[in-house]
A and B are shown apart, each in its own frame.
Chain A
Amino acid sequence: MFWQKDIETISRKALEELQLKRLKQTARQAYINIPFYKDRFSKLDITPKVITSLKDIRKLPFTTREDMREHYPFGMLAVNKEQVVRLHTSSGTTGKPKAIFFSKKDVDRAAELIARCLIMTGIKKDDVLQNMMTYGLFTGALVMHYGAEKVGVLVIPAGPGNTKRQIALMQDFKTTTLHLTPSYALYLASVMGNEGLVPKRDLALRRAYLGSEPYSEETRNKIEKFFGIDVYNSYGLSEMNGPGVAFECIHKNGMHLWEDNFIIEIIDPDTGKEVPEGEKGELVLTTLCREAMPILRYRTRDIVMIIPGKCKCGRTHRRISRIIGRSDDMIIIRGVNIFPQQIEQVLMGIKAVAQNYQIVLEAYDQMTVRVEITRDLFDGRVEHLVNLKNEITEKLRSEILVRPKVELLEPGTLPVTEGKATRVIDKRTL
């Protein structure tokens, strides 16, 4: 089943011609309307005319998340403010988030891409999609919502959390399809297991879309087995619309990335040079159809590889593997992006904690921040330590939007490493 068969099965040659045409357009649009890009082009002594073939994309400047932050809120906008209809933000390293704007056309295009994805997994109008991603500033829920409505399925905008109610909704409305994070899927499975609920027997579930967090093939198998469903991997990032950038088809072997909307590059994160075909590297994406906010060569920091060969489904858009790693130290927990520097900044602002700290990730969504207290400020009062612990927990929660468990340690407990300390210990089995 196809949503837009012509474009989804377009020949590689025609696709590349389309990409080139759109790349030229996008580069022009960015150069003319966004001072940031004009400046970058000038520094490289180029103009959009430099693009005569797809390979010429390598002559264009990269865009990083730091660039996005630096030009927050309106600096990356290519159109007048009255032309934008929606804002999403994505959490950033410190303080400033990234602002992503959509014009009316952009909202519609993002929905079209989602529609392709859903149809690709066999969804039909009589399906019921329970959308358990966070509605709000995150792109995860709303972009999926619009796409699902476009297909004509019934969308339950459940949002995350309140697991009992989620289960009740599944029972009452015969939910067939879930959209959620892998960590929440595992949690949901444990709650259902404890309540003696057998999804295969008691629910109408048939499939789930899992995204926002990296997870393994084992986790997919585990979730598929427990719920008795098909799990499809979903890839997206707010800077590139959110979900719907790449998605698995029924063959569940890599995610088709919609190349009529994005140009894929896989680079060595250290040198910025393209890696040989089939090797893993950092995914770099260029938008081809975005009106409000065209972005050139965005460094996603996600490490992936291209799956070689043609897919049995007939789609010609190449497939990327699931995320193998990150080229930075970003942590994704409960679908939220967190940088260790955010945690460091909070801790350094509290007098009674020392320099050394450690972040431990366990189970599927447990985060423990271990901090050493300052020897000189210890006054023997348990009450002060309890207050300190609460203060750290609260300040971290308001910065990273996830409530961590905080452990107070004796000074000198954590290993002191020379150079770059190992701040994050990831014991998760996601």
Chain B
Amino acid sequence: MEELKQISIFSENKPGRLSKITKVLADAGVNILAINIASSNGFGVLKFIFDKSEVAYQKLKQKGFTVSVNEVLAIELVDRPGGLYEVATILSKKRVNIENAYVLILGSRKKAYLIVDIIDIDKAKKLLKNEKLRFYTAKKKAKKEAK
């Protein structure tokens, strides 16, 4: 299981914030693989999966954004009815508590992954080790990019 990084950005709820953030990414040549926005009354946290997370992280920080990085799991979903159910059943059986989850789709909808943000990720990794789950990893992505 290779590490997959999620970048979180704090943002006030006001017009123009997303465009400012994405401009930094565009200028840095970073590709967004998945995005999720969690907002509360007055502010939000934007969550991203990037192809080049380290570059994105450094650039955003440099530009003064409030950024943090953490590891998430990306579990492969089979593209048929019940696909998410199977994964959810395993997570629930292993009592893995999800903080936040969203979907990452790659290669023109060939493969979909459930990104799960878990507070105690090391514990979750141990719990899920022997389950029949396929994970998307940064390594896999790197290989693919190399081709």
Chain A interface residues toward B at CB < 8 A: 373, 375, 378-383, 385-386, 389, 407-413
Interface size bucket, B side?
20 to 34
Q: List 5 A-B contacts (CB under 8 A).
A: A379-B70, A386-B40, A408-B10, A408-B12, A411-B66
Residues of chain A lying within 8 A (CB to CB) of residue B138: none
- Count CB-based A-B contacts (< 8 Å): 52
Report the Cα distance A225→B115, complex, angstroms. Answer: 61
Instruction: State how many angstroms separate the Cβ of A52 from the closest Cβ of chain B.
Output: 63
| CB nearest neighbor in A for B38 | A382
A408 to B43, Cβ gap below 8 A? Answer: yes
Residues of chain B lying within 8 A (CB to CB) of residue A409: 12
Chain B interface residues toward A at CB < 8 A: 6, 8, 10-12, 38-45, 47, 64-70, 99-100
The residue that A411 contacts in the complex, of B43, B44, B64, B68, with Cβ under 8 A, is: B64
Report the Cα distance A411→B60, complex, angstroms. Answer: 13
Among A373, A375, A389, A412, max chain B CB count under 10 A is at A375
Residues of chain A lying within 8 A (CB to CB) of residue B66: 373, 375, 378, 410-411
| CB nearest neighbor in A for B117 | A380
Among A380, A383, A408, A413, max chain B CB count under 10 A is at A380
Instruction: State how many angstroms separate the Cβ of A392 from the closest Cβ of chain B.
Output: 12
Report the Cα distance A409→B44, complex, angstroms. Answer: 10
Instruction: State how many angstroms separate the Cβ of A367 from the closest Cβ of chain B.
Output: 15
B65 to A410, Cβ gap below 8 A? Answer: yes
A380 to B70, Cβ gap below 8 A? Answer: yes
Residues of chain B lying within 8 A (CB to CB) of residue A379: 8, 68, 70
A413 to B67, Cβ gap below 8 A? Answer: no
The residue that A378 contacts in the complex, of B10, B38, B41, B47, with Cβ under 8 A, is: B10
A385 to B40, Cβ gap below 8 A? Answer: yes
| CB nearest neighbor in B for A386 | B40
Report the Cα distance A411→B61, complex, angstroms. Answer: 12
Residues of chain B lying within 8 A (CB to CB) of residue A380: 6, 8, 45, 47, 68-70
Residues of chain B lying within 8 A (CB to CB) of residue A373: 10, 66
Instruction: State how many angstroms separate the Cβ of A380 from the closest Cβ of chain B.
Output: 3
Report the Cα distance A412→B64, complex, angstroms. Answer: 8
Taking A380-B45, A382-B40 as known contacts, 4 extra A-B pairs with beta carbons closer than 8 A to each other, sorted by chain A number, are: A382-B44, A385-B43, A407-B12, A409-B12
The residue that A410 contacts in the complex, of B6, B11, B70, with Cβ under 8 A, is: B11
Report the Cα distance A379→B10, complex, angstroms. Answer: 9
Report the Cα distance A408→B11, complex, angstroms. Answer: 9
Residues of chain B lying within 8 A (CB to CB) of residue A381: 8, 45, 99
Residues of chain A lying within 8 A (CB to CB) of residue B12: 407-410, 413
Report the Cα distance A411→B69, complex, angstroms. Answer: 18
Residues of chain A lying within 8 A (CB to CB) of residue B100: 382
Residues of chain A lying within 8 A (CB to CB) of residue B38: 382
Report the Cα distance A375→B10, complex, angstroms. Answer: 9
Report the Cα distance A386→B41, complex, angstroms. Answer: 9
